Amino acid sequence: MFGNDISMMTSVKLWLSKTFLMKDMGNASYILGIKIYRDRSRKLIGLSQSLYVDKVLGRFQMEHSKKGFLPVRHGIHLSKSMNHKTPEAVIQISRIPYASAIRSLMYAMPCTRHDISFAVSITSRYQSNPGSEHWSAVKTVLKYLRRTKDMFLVYGGNPELLVEGYTDSDFEYDVDDRKSTSRYVFILNGRAIS
């Protein structure tokens, strides 16, 4: 629970404790693997998934890789034509946990890592038949996460609610289907929320 009315929160906790078996454990420090940082004096709250990112990097043997500067390398345009066609190459790429890596990235993306959403949306298109270039693009995202794993989202500090929205589109970005791609970001008090 959270809120500004302490007396109301106390009465709700009292009612809940009479209705359900519960224990008040104080302030939450983790929720679903997300670390919560608080700075009450400046009215800030921060969210971090650094432990989750460490687990993901370990699962895909990327914990000692080079640290990436960007989640997507400039000028990379993935397509279905980059898939492997020979039976030997298909067997080799089937040993790579491509779909598992994409799922791991998709878990972090909506919670605290909005910065990788474009890269994940591009690489997730090729889960059924990835090629080595596709896997290289996923490893680029993992390298970027290695460099930025200790960063976290910070909310608060401004008493007014200021919502901003931005959008971008690219005509025929998808090389395979020639479909347009559009993206958006909504910002609340200077922090990305969607």
Q: In which element (H, E) is residue 163 found?
A: strand 163-170
Q: pLDDT tens digit string along 45-88?
A: 889 999 999 999 999 999 999 898 888 887 777 777 777 667 77
CA-to-CA separations, 109 to 26, 53, 76, 120, 172, in angstroms, rounded: 28, 11, 21, 8, 25
Domain boundaries of the chain, sorted by first residue: 6-192
Residue 111: partners with Cβ closer than 8 Å, 6 or more residues away: 32, 34, 47, 49
Task: Give yes or no for a contact between 145 and 113, defined as CB atoms under 8 angstroms apart.
Answer: yes
Strands 30-31 and 181-188: unpaired
Q: What pLDDT score does 28 carry?
A: 85
pLDDT band at 95 (very low <50, low <70, confident <90, very high): confident
